[in-house]
Amino acid sequence: MTRLTVHTADSAPEGSRGFIDTVITNNGFLPNLIGVLAGAPVALETYLTVSGINARASLTLQEREVVQITAASVHGCDFCVAGHTAIALKKAGFEKDVVRALQERATTGNSRFDALVAFTRAVILTRGNVADGELSDFLAAGFKPQQVLEVLLGVSLATLCNFANNLARTGINPELQAYLPGALTS
């Protein structure tokens, strides 16, 4: 059961309503995460603003989704794993086997993605205090120093929504159920 209110467009504080309308227009439904964050208009605004900034990073959409699925998996946020799996499949052009590997924290068979997964996990697990070798391996995979910081940006975005969902025990929308870990079929 959800521990925080999952707001609708009608129940949300006035400061969240415009954001909610935009999200519904863009998604066709109101993700429960947005309903939870709507309880604090500044939290919802932060999430949407940082999402927009993250979208401008030099990491590709696929690479940004690798960071998001990896972070959600490490943080134990099935809601965000499902949401970002949907984006990975519908918008980023991923094959199901690659997404399943990301969900399961297995190797993807794509050396660049696997280096990004390893670095993202290291950033989270060490709270940014990655070993020299982990940083060197990431850069040796063809990433630039700018992208080291962009991974931090993606992790910070993921942390906000993953922790909000974990704290609230946000229910997973019916629209996202098919994208849960273990739900993808061949």
- Per-residue pLDDT of 129-183, as tens digits, reads 999 999 999 999 999 999 999 999 999 999 999 999 999 999 999 999 999 988 9
Residue 48 belongs to some domain of the structure: no
Is 111 inside any structural domain?
yes
Helix (H, G, I), strand (E, B) or coil at 106: coil
Domain harbouring 112, CATH code: 1.20.1290.10
Give the 3-state DSSP-derived string for 53-74, with helices as H, strands as E and coil as C: HHCCCCCCHHHHHHHHHHHHHH
Neighbours of 25 (CB within 10 A): 8
- Residue 156 falls within a domain, yes or no? yes
This prediction has a pTM of 0.96
pLDDT digits (tens, 9 = 90+) for 2-27: 899 999 999 999 999 999 999 999 99
Asked if residue 22 belongs to a domain, the reply is: no
Cβ-contact 77, 89 below 8 angstroms: no
Determine the structural domain holding residue 150 and report its residue range: 61-167
Residue 151 domain flag: yes
> Is 117 among the domain residues?
yes
- Number of structural domains found in the chain: 1
- Max CA pair span of the chain: 51
Determine phi and psi for 173, rounding to 5 degrees: -55, 145
Count Cβ neighbours within 10 Å for each residue of 140-170 and write b for 16 or more, e otherwise. Answer: eeebeeebeebbebbbebbebbbebbbebeb
